[in-house]
Amino acid sequence: MDQKKNKRVTIYDLATELNVSPSTVSRALKDHFSIGQKTTAAVKALAKKRGYRPNLIASNLRNQQTNTIGVLVPWLNRPFISTLISGVEESAQEAGYNVLIAQTRDSYEKEVINTKALFDCRVQAIIVSLAMETTDYGHFEDVIQQGTPVIFVDRVPSNFCGHQVMIDNYQTGHDATQHLINSGYQRIALLSGSLKQKIYQDRHAGYLAALKKNGIPVEEQLIGKSDRLTIEEGANLIAEMLKLPAPPDAVFSTNDSAAVGAMKHVQSIGLKVPEDIAFIGLNDDPVCTIITPNLSSMSHPAAEMGRLAVRQALEVITMPQESVGSTFMVRLNTQVVSRGSA
Amino acid sequence: MDQKKNKRVTIYDLATELNVSPSTVSRALKDHFSIGQKTTAAVKALAKKRGYRPNLIASNLRNQQTNTIGVLVPWLNRPFISTLISGVEESAQEAGYNVLIAQTRDSYEKEVINTKALFDCRVQAIIVSLAMETTDYGHFEDVIQQGTPVIFVDRVPSNFCGHQVMIDNYQTGHDATQHLINSGYQRIALLSGSLKQKIYQDRHAGYLAALKKNGIPVEEQLIGKSDRLTIEEGANLIAEMLKLPAPPDAVFSTNDSAAVGAMKHVQSIGLKVPEDIAFIGLNDDPVCTIITPNLSSMSHPAAEMGRLAVRQALEVITMPQESVGSTFMVRLNTQVVSRGSA
DNA sequence: TTGTACGCGTTATCAT
DNA sequence: ATGATAACGCGTACAA
């Protein structure tokens, strides 16, 4: 095994060497019943000896399936998403599927390009969490129509019927707000992501509903919107609100990063958490138990959502043709994780 | 576009409809100079109209290249790694490559299986960060010999000649330790990963060298080893050391998670950081600026390492055959990021 | 400028 | 129990 630099071994090579036909080799390698014991053994032995490895590209072309799932997310390096992908990878691998990833960086344009790219690779399903910018879903309609199922996770579309795995964002927004109200806070700020995205619309609606139910007036100045909800943006949003004549006494942030940024900011100017101002985030990222005081948050089962998305994807892939058109939706419940910040 | 459910459009379909040959379509789609303007235009127009998308599986088989890079890491949901992968994805995408990911969960066995799986998918290079358990590299030798380059990042092998992108772990371990010494600490504990892994050996060696250079005796009880270096393990390791007659007055942890765990633990039993005990971590994870006091750490350019790994991979992929056998190594410098904990 | 024919590596169908 | 053949969709050398 040396002079032939990197010529890959094929079933033809094995067939030639054993004086059998390629089909025999092919069948023997997958324990086809019709091949004799000794032949099978001989083929396998030589395959191992020669370091034969099947060419999945050829196999995929022939079989018209790639056993690959595509994943398209805004960012790979965020706690919630990397954990979700970890769950996707785990379940996919168990089922014998590969995982092809791409990130949109929250750009609609990149989302369109990558959706096409994943389709071109003939992934058998695409698991998507929408870019912040996205409000048009034509690129997904295209691939769905061509037979590639799309499963939306977390950031799901609005006014578009498709498979979805998500949390109950309305209820989550409501419960977070109610939790603050229960603790006696009245002037509750909301740090929201772009209302272009349904999940932020729903969280926003839940927030409003909780206020209304408790007879608390809504103040638009206490509703901050941000496209990235980063630590910095969280700090900026709260900084503005603190300039108000009547600043908030509590904050519900629709993700933990912005909550952390806001919380660090108010602490940096001498305010006490939760005495002067309380916080609750959303996602229950690991950072919640590291910051002082620990950040209350809403649970958000990332890994489980990833696993569920794969399970549903596999179900759709193997779904009989007649049920094409029907969609499923998994909506997970969340709960308040109460810590020192609220 | 309706009754034919999900039959995909091929160049044959376009050729038939236009009464030209498939090769003409193929050439027109990639702007081959020999095809007339009007033909090219007509082909492209119909392709768009019919929603034609190239089948990359077929193309890959024909071209004997997949434009795909495989990534194999211990865990996807860790700040350093997810950021590294983000860098990989970014550079790969720019170069027109796809990214196939798999995680080993620090298991040697899974590493072997996934290496083969990625090879079977005919990825054109594999970017690997070793599993904690791995000390044998036969599975990588196999794929390398069959012509698939392997680029090791961060957790690189020992006694194995291969392409590498890493930090100078010896210097990093030395500098972190020296930083503590410069601040007046003398009883410096080390929280190390498994010494099976070269990176931890090197960090350990750097730690020892710094102690020696400063005339500080080495105490084995102050050297803790852990296979996962999680928050919990960091806490456990420091808890044991605090039981010693002469406990440490400073801690160098070879990752930030264990540093955070240890720091939170000592604070929970009433010790002050950095007055009673100082800390420096390694990776410079985002958490460093969130914990109180902020955690000093050693920089570790994750995204840049990912981009570099891809750049080197592409270079190797396109490398002339005669230079097969030569390997490159990129060793990045790190620096102390001094914060409140030390 | 365009068409013909073959092969990439595998596997399913039909023969033997 | 095994072999011959065709086909998956594309790209290209060769021919026209």
Please tell me the predicted confidence (pLDDT) of residue A115: 98
Distance between CA atoms of B54 and B81, rounded to whole angstroms? 33
Closest nucleotide C1' to the C-alpha of B27: D11
Distance, Å, A24 CA → C14 C1' = 15
Name every residue whose Cβ is closer than 8 Å to that of residue A79 and which is 6 or more positions away in sequence: A256, A283, A285, A286, A287, A302, B77, B79
pLDDT-derived band of residue B334, with 50, 70 and 90 as boundaries? very high
Task: Among A77, A83, A120, select the one facing B53 at the smallest CB separation.
Answer: A120
Strands (E), B109-148: 125-128
CA distances to A58, A80, A105, A195, B290 from A228, in Å: 42, 14, 10, 12, 19
Exposure string for B31-63, b = 16+ CB within 10 A, e = fewer: eeeebeeeebebbbebbeeeebbbbbbbbbbee
The DSSP code sequence of A17-61 is: HHTS-HHHHHHHHTT-TTS-HHHHHHHHHHHHHHT----HHHHHH
A-chain residues near B147 (CB < 8 A): 5-6, 8
Please answer whether residues B285 and B301 qualify as being in contact, where contact means their C-beta atoms are separated by less than 8 angstroms: no
* Domain ranges (residues) in chain A: 3-54, 66-167+302-334, 169-299
Residue of A nearest to B264 (CA): A290
CB contact under 8 A, B89 and A103: yes
Write the residue in A101, A114, A146 that is nearest to B101 by C-beta: A101
Chain B residues with beta carbon closer than 8 angstroms to that of A284: none
Please give the Cα distance from A221 to B268 (Å, whole number). 39
Spatial distance between the Cα atoms of B90 and B88, rounded to a whole number of angstroms: 5
Q: Which two tokens stand for residue B16?
A: 């038939």
Within 7 Å: CB of A56 and strand D? no
CA distance B137 to A296: 45
**Is there contact between B212 and strand D, defined as CB under 7 Å from any strand atom?**
no
Give per-residue pLDDT as tens, B112-157: 999 999 999 999 999 999 999 999 999 999 999 999 999 999 999 9
Provide φ and ψ at B127, rounded to 5°: -100, 120
Runs of H (alpha helix) within chain A: 11-18, 22-29, 37-50, 56-63, 79-94, 108-120, 138-145, 169-182, 198-213, 231-241, 256-268, 302-317
**C6 C1' closest Cα residue:** B62
DSSP state of B326: B
Strand C contact at CB of residue B64, distance < 7 A: yes
Closest by CA position to A264, among listed A228, A234, A289: A234
Q: Is B237 helix (H, G, I), strand (E, B) or coil?
A: helix
| B6 contacts: CB under 8 Å, gap ≥ 6 | A145, A146, A147, A324
**Strand nucleotide closest to residue B24 (CA to C1'):** C2
Q: For residue B21, say whether its CB is under 7 Å from any atom of strand C.
A: yes
Q: How far apart are CA B89 and CA A70, in angstroms?
A: 13
3-state class of B274 per DSSP? Answer: coil
B11 touches strand D (CB under 7 A): yes
Asked whether residue B172 carries a pLDDT value surpassing 50, the answer given is yes
Contact B53/A6, CB-based, under 8 Å? no
Proximity of residue A146 CB to strand D below 7 A: no
B55/C15 CA-to-C1' distance in Å? 33
**Closest Cα partner for B52 from B35, B33, B28, B68?**
B28
* A186: exposed, middle or buried (Cβ count in 10 Å: 0-12, 13-18, 19+): middle
Which pTM value belongs to this model? 0.95
* Distance separating alpha carbons of residues A156 and A160, to the nearest angstrom: 9
Closest to A305 (Cα-Cα) out of A41, A36, A71: A71
Rounded CA–C1' distance between A208 and D11, in angstroms? 59
For residue B248, give every residue at least 6 positions away whose Cβ sits within 8 Å of its Cβ, in sequence order, or none. Answer: B187, B188, B189, B222, B238, B241, B277
pLDDT for B7 equals 75
Summarize pLDDT for B141-150 with one digit per residue, the tens: 999 999 999 9
Residue B290: which of A61, A81, A287 has the nearest Cβ?
Answer: A287
Q: How far is B20 from chain A (nearest CA, A)?
A: 24
Residues 6+ apart with CB under 8 A from A272: none
- Look up residue B283 and give its DSSP letter: B
**Residue A124: what pLDDT?**
97
DSSP-derived pairing of the beta strands A125-128 and A68-73: parallel
- In this complex, the answer to whether residue B55 has its CB under 7 A from any atom of chain D, a nucleic strand, is yes
Asked whether strand D has any atom less than 7 Å from the CB of B328, the reply is no
d(CA A288, C1' C13) / Å: 61
Nucleic chain C: which protein residues 23-42 of B have CB below 7 A from it? 23-24, 27, 33-36, 38-40
Q: How confident is the model at residue B326 (pLDDT cuts 50, 70, 90)?
A: confident
SS3 B280: strand
Taking the Cβ of residue B146 and every Cβ of chain A, the question of whether any pair is shorter than 8 Å is answered with yes
Q: Do A53 and B5 touch (CB under 8 A)?
A: no
Burial class (CB in 10 A: 0-12, 13-18, 19+), B219: middle
Burial of A209 (0-12, 13-18, 19+ CB in 10 A): middle
| CB A23 under 7 Å to nucleic chain C | yes
* Chain B residues near residue A86 by CB distance under 8 angstroms: 75-77, 103
Nearest Cβ partner for B60 among A57, A82, A100: A57
- For residue A2, the model assigns a pLDDT of 34
The count of other CB atoms within 10 Å of the CB of residue B113 is 15
* Contact indicator for A74, A106 with CB cutoff of 8 Å: yes
Per-position pLDDT tens, chain A of length 342? 333 445 799 999 999 999 999 999 999 999 999 999 999 999 999 999 999 999 999 999 999 999 999 999 999 999 999 999 999 999 999 999 999 999 999 999 999 999 999 999 999 999 999 999 999 999 999 999 999 999 999 999 998 989 999 999 999 999 999 999 999 999 999 999 999 999 999 999 999 999 999 999 999 999 999 999 999 999 999 999 999 999 999 999 999 999 999 999 999 999 999 999 999 999 999 999 999 999 999 999 999 999 999 999 999 998 766 566 789 999 999 999 999 999
Cα–Cα distance, A295 to A337 (Å, whole number):
9
> What are the residues facing B225 on neighbouring strands?
B192
Burial category of B126 from C-beta neighbours within 10 Å (exposed 0-12, middle 13-18, buried 19 and up): buried
CB B22 within 8 A of CB B12: yes
Measure CA to C1' and name the residue nearest D10: B59
The CATH number for A3-54, chosen from 3.40.1670.10, 2.60.40.420, 1.10.260.40, 3.40.50.1000, is 1.10.260.40
CATH number for B169-299: choose from 3.40.50.2300, 3.90.550.10, 3.40.1190.20, 3.90.850.10. Answer: 3.40.50.2300
A45 in reach of chain B (CB within 8 A): no
Residue B16, C-beta contacts closer than 8 angstroms, at least 6 positions apart = none
Is residue A176 within 8 A of residue A209, CB to CB? The reply is no
> Which CATH superfamily includes the segment(s) B66-167+302-334?
Response regulator (3.40.50.2300)
Give the pair of three-digit tokens for residue A238: 């709260």
The Cα–Cα gap between B92 and B310 comes to 6
Exposure string over A75-97, b if 16+ CB within 10 A, otherwise e: bbbbbbbbbbbbbbbbbbbeeeb
Residue B283: left if φ>0, alpha if ψ -120 to 50, beta else—which one? Answer: left
Which H or E run includes B232?
helix B231-241
Tokens of residue A255, six digits: 């993700």
Q: Please enumerate in sequence order all residues whose Cβ is within 8 A of that of B81, keeping only pairs 6 or more positions apart, or say none.
A: A82, B73, B74, B75, B129, B302
Contact B116, A53 (CB under 8 A): yes
Q: Give the model's pLDDT for residue B1.
A: 33
Nucleotides in chain C with any atom closer than 7 Å to protein CB: 1-5, 7-13
Tokens of B61: 């088989």
Rounded to 5°, the CA angle A107-A110-A115 comes to 125
- Contact between A29 and A53 under an 8 Å Cβ cutoff? The reply is no
